[in-house]
Amino acid sequence: MRRRLWEPLFMARQLLRWLILGSGTGALVGVVVTYFLQFLFWSIHLTAHWPLWSIGLALPLGGLLTGVLIYYGAPDAAGHGTEAVIRAVHQKSGKINWKVAPVKALATVTTIAVGGSAGKEGPSAQIGAAVASALADLLRFSKDERRRIVICGIGAGFAAVFGTPVAGAILGIEVLAIGDLWYEMLLPSFVSSVTAFAVARQLGLTWNYPLHGSPLSLSLGLFGKLVLFGVACGVAAYVLVLMMDGLHQGVARIGQRRHWWPPVFPLIAGVILAILILLVGREYSGLSLHLFTFALSGHMVGAMAFFWKIVFVAVTLGLGMSGGIITPLFVIGSTLGVVLAKILGIPLGDGAALGMIAVTASGANAPIASIVLGMEIFGNMLAPEFLITAIPAFIMIGNHSVYPSQKVKMMKSPWVPIPLGKSLEEAPQKPLGIPWTRHPGVDAQSQDPES
């Protein structure tokens, strides 16, 4: 009886504690991420009108400078940022070197400003997590508390860069594991995300998602079209992951056998990107936000635009340059979406929005956050359609992700078995099952050490 009387007070104490810590973390992350993004946009504007020949020279130099910054400054700043944070949460209780924040910011600028094809949200999430980790050091938090406040920093970074506090909070949790959502982190992460969003908006950050679409009338025919739409988006995300993984593994093998100086690989990326720009144009370099907004505005893009963006992103991040991966998923999804919409007879603007959400849900293995993201950006006009396309896309990518450090908490299919409780990169790939025989993967459920 006494416990029942006192329990609400202790729960209120816990609630108040994380309201204070979450809002404080969010405010700090909101300030840091806003100034990082303003610096990034300024640098992009500075190089936007450089002639093509100068970009061809700047890309290799930018790749080399990025490689040197990462190799000598903070190796965890390589790649698309969020991956390193997920690994830190799972393996280091959220401990992140404070040097990651400035090095990641500079390395992202030296990548994207000269034409590297990457995004801005991964660095923002990693910078937010590094700021939160430094705050945990200052306050002498326990390992569990550090992990929690770093997750708040991830969500705050996503919220500030996208302008979506609800989706940012969920995404910061959902990317940690496939098939698991840390419910007790929803409130702290949401408080942190809302605060970061409010601070970023107060400091002048704006977000623009111009959608020119119309409500769709659901029918069995449209349902079938949308399922096929989601399948195609899942396959596109799968191709991106395979290309990035192949380049990562190639770099690792060369590094082990020939002991090349690591900054050479971003330099090679710059050379390849410069050649690609000369061959197919500049629209796939950098953030490619013009392609994204053009597609969302209901205009047709080139039929191969999504494929070229995949190639540019895979070369940029697969060979060690710095930047995020979610914005590229937005661009790939929106450009693929208008092509699929044209084929399936769907309004082009709607197709771009659906593709953006479906490819993100698949590539990041984050269907819930992606669906919420779509509704938060575009309203509830396409809410059922987001669900119908995102889930098949999420299933189609299987046991793969742009974040290989994600923990596996569910099997998507007993015919593609994978041990539970490990990260994607640690889990051995079992032989595929045959649908008409006994399901070989069901026993894998018992291998989760936390179940």
385 phi, psi to nearest 5 deg: -65, -35
365-to-55, 95, 187, 307 alpha-carbon distances in Å: 34, 24, 22, 20
d(CA 158, CA 389): 23
Helix axes 100-112, 52-73, angle to 10 degrees: 160
The DSSP element (H or E) to which 158 belongs, if any, is: helix 143-162
pLDDT at 2: 66
pLDDT at 429: 64
The residues spanned by each domain of the chain are 16-202, 220-396
Neighbours of 138 (CB within 10 A): 8
Q: Do residues 95 and 133 lie in contact, with contact meaning Cβ atoms separated by under 8 Å?
A: yes
The CATH number of 220-396 is which of 1.20.1510.10, 2.60.120.380, 1.10.3080.10, 1.10.357.10?
Answer: 1.10.3080.10
Q: Do the domains 16-202 and 220-396 sit in the same CATH topology, yes or no? A: yes
d(CA 33, CA 39): 10
pLDDT at 283: 92
**CATH code assigned to 16-202:** 1.10.3080.10
Neighbours of 221 (CB within 10 A): 10
In the predicted model, residues of the chain with pLDDT beneath 70 are 1-4, 79-80, 428-451
pLDDT at 177: 87
pLDDT at 447: 46
pLDDT at 41: 94
pLDDT at 73: 87
329-to-287, 424, 426 alpha-carbon distances in Å: 11, 20, 24
d(CA 263, CA 322): 12
Helix axes 82-91, 121-139, angle to 10 degrees: 30
pLDDT at 344: 95
Q: What confidence tens digit (pLDDT) does each residue in 368-413 have?
A: 999 999 999 998 888 999 999 999 999 999 999 999 999 998 888 8
Q: What confidence tens digit (pLDDT) does each residue in 154-194 have?
A: 999 999 999 999 999 999 999 998 888 888 888 999 999 99
Supply the pTM of this predicted model.
Answer: 0.91
pLDDT at 433: 65
pLDDT at 442: 45
Q: Do residues 400 and 362 lie in contact, with contact meaning Cβ atoms separated by under 8 Å?
A: no
d(CA 345, CA 348): 9
